Chains A and B, each alone.
Chain A
C-alpha cells in the first residue's frame, strides 16, 4: 500500500495569482460603478443650475423654447419625446411579438433562419442611414397625406415614429423570440391536449407565459427609441411646438445636436438641463418597468 496523501494545505491562504486576479476584478467592477456615479453627478451638476435659475416649473412646464430671447420651456419637447417613443412602442410591440411568434413557432426552419439573419442586419444598420432613407422615401410619402388633409407639408411626428419603429423592431423581435422559445413545451402540450388549436395555444398560453421576457424587450426598445437623435432630426421637422401627428416636432434629444455648436452661456446650460431631463426620464421609465415586471413575475412564481 502506498502512502496516503495529507489533505492539509501546504500554503496558507490563497495564492498570489488568485489575489491579483481578485484585485483586478474588483477594479473593473469599481470602474463600472464609478462611471455610472460620475455621469449621474455630472449631469446633476451641469444641468442643475439652469433649472434653479429658470425655475423648475418654468423649465419643465414652460411652453416656449426660444433661447435667443431667454425662454427655456421644454414642455413641448417632453411631450413630443413621450409621444414619439410611446407611439413607436405601441406599433412595434404587436408587430414584433407577431414576428417573434412566427419565427419561434410557425416558420419552416429555412425561412426562419433567413428572416433572422435579415433582422440582425436591420439591427446593425446605423441610425443615420435610417434617417436618410426616412427623409428621402418616407417623408415625401407623408407629404401626400398632409396635402390631402390640407396641412402644411413638412417633417412630422408620424415619420419620426415610423423610423423609431423600424429601429426598435429587431430588438423586440429577438428578445421576444427567445422568451417564447423558453416557454416549456409542457404548457403547449397541455393546451393542445385540451383541444386548442395551435394558434390558441400560442396566444392564450405561450405568449402570456413569455410575458416577462417580452417586457424586457420593450424596455430595451424604449431605451433606444427615447435616446435617438440623428435619425429623428432628419425627418421630424424640428419645430419646438406641441406635437401633432402630422405636424413638425422637436424631441428632447434633437435640440442638443442642433444647437450645441453655437450655444454658449445660459443657452448651453439649458442644453445640459435637457440632458438632465432625458436622464431623469430614462430612470423613471426603467423603474416603472421594473415595478410592473415584479408584479407580473410574482404572479408567475406563485
Chain B
C-alpha cells in the first residue's frame, strides 16, 4: 500500500545492493512518507541497516559495494549523475547506533555541520547551536558547559547530542540506526519521546531491533528478511493483522 504521491518524501525503485558477490538487498521498493516515522524491523543480518545507509549514500565509503536501482528524493535520483553527496547528506541526516560525538567541545560538535557547509559567523553559529540543542531536548542540561568536552556527557546525553548535531544542518529526513540499543531504559524513553516530537518537522526512518519500540513510536513499519522487503504497511496493520506469514512469525517471536 503506497501513500499519495504528494506526501511521499522518498521512494526507492527496484533497489539492489551487492557486497562483492553477496546480494544483500534484493529489489526493494519502498516509500518514506513525509513527517512520519517509518520503522524498519527484522532479524540480524536482514539488510535493514544496509538499506538505511543507501538512503544517504553512506555505503559509498565501502569499496566493494555495487548498487543498482533508484532512490528518489523529492523527485531527484540520489544515485543519479552529478549528485553532490555533501548536499545530500546535509538534507538527509544520520544518527548512529553507538553515540559518536567528536572529541571536541559540545559547541564545536554542533557547529561542525554548519561550519563545514560554510557558516562562519559567530553570532549565527551561536543561534544554531542553541536551537539544535533545544530541539534535541538537551539545551538546559548543557547550556552552561558548551565549551567542555562532549565525551564528558553520559551515554544518553551523548546520543541526544548527536541528534542535535544532526539537526544543526537543517535536514529534512532523519535516518536513525538503532539509536537506543546502547542506552539504558530511562535514556531510551527520553529519546523515544524526542523522536516522537521531532516528527512534527522531520521525516524519520528508524531501524530498530526492538519490536516494542517500533510499535510504540512509528507510523509505518517495514519488515525485512534476508535482504527482501517482506511487508510494508501502517504500524497498526503490521502488528495486529500482518498479511504475510513470515511477518507474523517474526512478530510473534517464532524466530528472531
Binding site for B on A (CB under 8 A): 184, 186-187, 189-197, 200, 204-205, 208-209, 299-302
Identify which of residues 95-146 in chain B touch chain A, using a CB-to-CB cut-off of 8 Å: 96, 98, 100-104, 112-113, 116-117
- Nearest-CB distance from A7 to chain B (Å)? 39
Identify which of residues 72-105 in chain B touch chain A, using a CB-to-CB cut-off of 8 Å: 86-90, 93-94, 96, 98, 100-104
B5 contacts chain A at the CB level, 8 A cutoff: no
**A186 in contact with B116 (CB, 8 Å):** no
Which residue from chain B places its CB closest to the CB of A211 in the assembled complex?
A: B103
**A302 in contact with B150 (CB, 8 Å):** yes
Query: Which one of A189, A193, A197, A302 lies within 8 Å of B152 (CB-CB)?
Result: A302
Would you give the 0/1 interface string for B151-166, flagging 1 where the beta carbon is closer than 8 Å to chain A?
A: 1100000000010011
Which residue from chain B places its CB closest to the CB of A183 in the assembled complex?
A: B103
> A200 with B116: in contact, given A193-B94, A209-B102 (CB under 8 Å)?
yes
Tell me the bound Cα distance from A193 to B86 in angstroms: 8
**A193 in contact with B89 (CB, 8 Å):** yes
Which residue from chain B places its CB closest to the CB of A200 in the assembled complex?
A: B116
Tell me the bound Cα distance from A193 to B96 in angstroms: 10
- Nearest-CB distance from B148 to chain A (Å)? 8
> A302 with B149: in contact, given A190-B162, A194-B169, A204-B112 (CB under 8 Å)?
yes
> A187 with B56: in contact, given A194-B166, A195-B117 (CB under 8 Å)?
no
| 21 pairs from A and B in contact (CB 8 Å cutoff) | A184-B100, A186-B98, A189-B58, A190-B96, A190-B162, A190-B165, A191-B102, A193-B56, A193-B58, A193-B93, A194-B90, A194-B113, A194-B169, A195-B87, A195-B116, A196-B116, A208-B103, A208-B104, A209-B102, A300-B103, A301-B151
Smallest CB-CB A-B distances: 4 pairs: A302-B152, A302-B151, A302-B149, A186-B100
Residues from chain A with Cβ under 8 Å of B96 in the complex: 186, 189-190, 193
B4 contacts chain A at the CB level, 8 A cutoff: no
> A191 with B61: in contact, given A197-B86, A205-B102, A302-B149 (CB under 8 Å)?
no
**A195 in contact with B89 (CB, 8 Å):** yes
- Nearest-CB distance from B233 to chain A (Å)? 29
Tell me the bound Cα distance from A204 to B111 in angstroms: 12
Given contact pairs A190-B165, A209-B102, a sample of 9 additional A-B residue pairs in the complex whose CB atoms are under 8 Å apart: A186-B100, A187-B100, A189-B58, A190-B102, A194-B90, A194-B116, A195-B117, A204-B116, A302-B103
- Nearest-CB distance from B179 to chain A (Å)? 13
Query: Which one of B58, B103, B149 lies within 8 Å of A209 (CB-CB)?
Result: B103
Would you give the 0/1 interface string for B46-78, flagging 1 where the beta carbon is closer than 8 Å to chain A?
A: 000000000010100100000000000000000
**A195 in contact with B61 (CB, 8 Å):** no
Which residue from chain A places its CB closest to the CB of B149 in the assembled complex?
A: A302
> A192 with B61: in contact, given A300-B151, A302-B151 (CB under 8 Å)?
yes
Tell me the bound Cα distance from A301 to B149 in angstroms: 8
- Nearest-CB distance from A188 to chain B (Å)? 8
**B61 in contact with A189 (CB, 8 Å):** yes
Residues from chain B with Cβ under 8 Å of A191 in the complex: 102, 112, 116
- Nearest-CB distance from A23 to chain B (Å)? 44
**A187 in contact with B102 (CB, 8 Å):** yes
Residues from chain B with Cβ under 8 Å of A200 in the complex: 116
Residues from chain A with Cβ under 8 Å of B87 in the complex: 195
Which residue from chain A places its CB closest to the CB of B166 in the assembled complex?
A: A194
Tell me the bound Cα distance from A288 to B172 in angstroms: 48
**B150 in contact with A192 (CB, 8 Å):** no
**B100 in contact with A190 (CB, 8 Å):** yes
- Nearest-CB distance from A198 to chain B (Å)? 9
Tell me the bound Cα distance from A186 to B112 in angstroms: 15
Residues from chain B with Cβ under 8 Å of A192 in the complex: 58, 61, 89
Which residue from chain B places its CB closest to the CB of A188 in the assembled complex?
A: B61
- Nearest-CB distance from A203 to chain B (Å)? 11
Which residue from chain B places its CB closest to the CB of A184 in the assembled complex?
A: B100
Residues from chain A with Cβ under 8 Å of B102 in the complex: 187, 190-191, 205, 209
- Nearest-CB distance from A293 to chain B (Å)? 15
Tell me the bound Cα distance from A193 to B89 in angstroms: 6
> A194 with B104: in contact, given A299-B149, A302-B150 (CB under 8 Å)?
no
- Nearest-CB distance from A110 to chain B (Å)? 14
Residues from chain A with Cβ under 8 Å of B150 in the complex: 302
- Nearest-CB distance from A124 to chain B (Å)? 33
Residues from chain B with Cβ under 8 Å of A196 in the complex: 86, 112, 116
Tell me the bound Cα distance from A209 to B151 in angstroms: 12
Tell me the bound Cα distance from A205 to B89 in angstroms: 17
